[in-house]
Amino acid sequence: MKKSDIPNVISLLRLLLIIPILWFLLRERYELALILFVIAGLSDALDGYLARKYHWGSHIGGWLDPLADKAMQVSVYIGLTWLQLIPVWLLLTVILRDLIIVAGGVYYYYAVEKVNAAPSFISKLNTLMQILLVIIFLLHKSLIPMPEIILDITIYSVLATTVLSGLDYVFTWGRKAWKVKRG
């Protein structure tokens, strides 16, 4: 293994962490699920840092890192929904947004032009809110009971940023596609 493979190995390990996180989550061992979820988050920061600092980015890493992130997030949201900690409609909204973005991105790439899209501010905020929701709910169930209002605000913040970021992608890339096709 070369040093430049380290970010990809970290992403693969993050993918493997999904199994024990879900195991602990579904066994209602929330504190252990929380610890592993935080480790997964730190590993995401570490692999990105190493790839940027040492120019260890790769084509496979460009796919593997976001795949590991999405797989982790969706898996944990499914687990939280299964345990009835978050509503089904929130899970469906998060998944639908991701499906719309992926389908739109594939269409744009193959039907309009090849481009690498960077996440918008609202998309980054949505990712942050989705991660915070997991941490807040796992903290709530393990160490620090939260007032119901905090849990509700977190749920509706994720809903709002999910819908807004999905609309932002649709309108931004729809407008770009329109201009390219007309131009």
Kindly report the pTM of this predicted structure: 0.93
Q: What is the C-alpha to C-alpha distance for residues 47 and 5, in angstroms, rounded to an integer?
A: 10
Q: What is the largest CA-CA distance in the chain?
A: 57
Instruction: Please identify every stretch of the chain with a pLDDT value under 70, giving residue numbers as ranges.
Output: none
Q: pLDDT of 109-120, one tens digit each?
A: 899 998 777 889
Q: What is the b/e burial string over 90-112, where b = at least 16 CB atoms within 10 angstroms of the residue's CB?
A: bbebbeebeeebeebeeebeeee
CA distances from 48 to 52, 55, 79, 121 (A): 6, 10, 26, 18
Q: What is the C-alpha to C-alpha distance for residues 40 and 178, in angstroms, rounded to an integer?
A: 39
Is there a contact between 139 and 146 (Cβ–Cβ < 8 Å)?
yes
Give the model's pLDDT for residue 115: 79
- Any idea where the domains of the chain sit in the sequence? 1-83, 85-183
Give the model's pLDDT for residue 116: 76
- Inter-helix orientation angle 30-53/59-82, to 10°: 160
Is there a contact between 141 and 37 (Cβ–Cβ < 8 Å)?
no
Give the model's pLDDT for residue 181: 85
The tokens for 75 are: 């898996």
Give the model's pLDDT for residue 117: 77
Give the model's pLDDT for residue 119: 87
Give the model's pLDDT for residue 2: 92
